[in-house]
Amino acid sequence: MRQERLYTLIGIFVVGAFGLLIYGSIFFYNEYIKEKMETYVLFFKGSLNGLESRSTVTYRGVKIGEVSFIELTENTLKNMVDVVVYVQFFVDKTGFRDNPIRLLINKGFVADISKPNFLTGVASIELIQTDKPPSSKQHYYRGYPIFPTVPQVEKYTSFDETLKSAKKTLDEIREFLQTKELQKTAESLRKMADSIEILANNLNQNVSPFVAYFSQSLKEVGKAAYSTQNLMDYLSRHPESLLRGKM
């Protein structure tokens, strides 16, 4: 009887020790994973279209982290709602012994949301370098350090530069379409089309199959010449259609 109780106690002890071993392994593994990651908080101004949990964070095209979760919160004045983006950086994957994320901040890197992927619709976060000197003071939110983001002014400036570049391209296209050489080419096409039409009408008087086929071919060439001239006239008036892809 005593031996049975002894065996029972030994069995309970072994099972308990094995359970503690599993629990301890999971706990220390989670702590090990946490040490390999560093969580930062990001506050973006403007649209967060396409950003979601597990969106990637890239540096020079390489994934170095991902969005852990996104939440809504009140701002400091409690008069607006802010979107808080939590990001986990894979510290060991950057190849630095010191704090690599803080090093990027000191070098003027900021986070920016890329355009959503055309197929998946998911956006990523890119770390880009700016000319603006970084703040020497590290800011925190609920104990997490804040990673700086692209100011809204810079995004507007980039958009304005894009508009200026598009306008310049349209002006160059308009100037090209209005050159004398191109106008002469269009006039030559018109004259060629008229001549081909006259020749085709004259050939229609002969009813032989070959002549009829040749006459029809000439008419098709004339139509193509007219279409080319009309296209050139349209492009000279609406050069922006080349960018829109619609005629």
Q: Are 83 and 48 in contact (CB under 8 A)?
A: yes
Q: Is the pLDDT of residue 36 over 60?
A: no
Render pLDDT for 50-64 as a digit per residue (tens, 0 to 9).
Answer: 999 999 999 999 999
- Calculate mean pLDDT across residues 3-31: 60
Task: Give the whole-number percent of the chain exceeding pLDDT 70.
Answer: 42
Residue tagged 């802010």 (tokens)? 82
The answer to whether 84 touches 73, Cβ cutoff 8 Å, is yes
- pLDDT of 30 higher than 60: no
Cβ atoms of 86 and 125 within 8 Å: the answer is no
Instruction: Check residues 66 and 169 and name the one with the higher pLDDT.
Output: 66
112 membership: H or E segment, kind and range: strand 109-113
Average pLDDT value over all residues in the chain: 72
Question: What is the rounded distance in angstroms from the CA atom of residue 173 to the CA atom of residue 240?
Answer: 8
Which H or E run contains 79? none
- CA–CA distance from 221 to each of 51, 217, 224 (Å)? 53, 6, 5
Q: Specify the pTM.
A: 0.50
- Please indicate whether residue 112 or residue 206 has the higher confidence score (pLDDT): 112
Over residues 96-130, the pLDDT tens digits come to 566 788 889 888 899 999 988 877 889 999 999 98
Cα distance between residue 119 and residue 131, in whole Å: 33
Helices (H), the chain: 2-36, 100-106, 152-177, 180-203, 209-237, 241-244
Does residue 165 or residue 116 have the better pLDDT? 116
Q: pLDDT band for 47, please (50, 70, 90 cuts).
A: confident
For range 156-174, the mean pLDDT: 63
CA distances from 196 to 9, 58, 206, 227, 228 (A): 109, 61, 16, 14, 15
> What's the pLDDT at 78?
79
Distance separating alpha carbons of residues 165 and 202, to the nearest angstrom: 52
Residue whose structure tokens are 């306008």: 167
User: What are the phi and psi torsion angles at 143 (to 5°)?
Assistant: 85, -5
DSSP 85-134: EEEEEEGGGGT-SS-HHHHHHHTTEEEEEPPPPTTT----EEEEE-SSPP
Q: What is the pLDDT of residue 45?
A: 85
Q: Which of 42-46, 87-91, 138-142, 198-202 has the lowest mean pLDDT?
A: 198-202
Which of 30-34, 36-40, 136-140, 198-202 shows the highest mean pLDDT?
36-40
Digit-coded pLDDT (tens) for 232-246:
666 666 665 555 555
Torsion region of 138: left, alpha or beta (phi above 0 gives left; psi -120 to 50 gives alpha): beta
pLDDT > 90? residue 43: yes
SS3 203: helix
Q: Which residues contact 102 (CB under 8 A, 6 or more apart)?
A: 138, 145
- Give me the residue spans of the domains in the chain: 35-145, 157-205, 208-240
**pLDDT tens digits, one per residue of 60-92:** 999 999 999 999 988 777 788 889 999 999 876
User: What pLDDT score was predicted for residue 75?
Assistant: 77
- Are 94 and 64 in contact, with CB atoms under 8 Å apart? yes
Token pair 């003071």 is found at: 137
Confidence check: pLDDT of 40 > 60: yes
- The pLDDT of residue 8 is 64
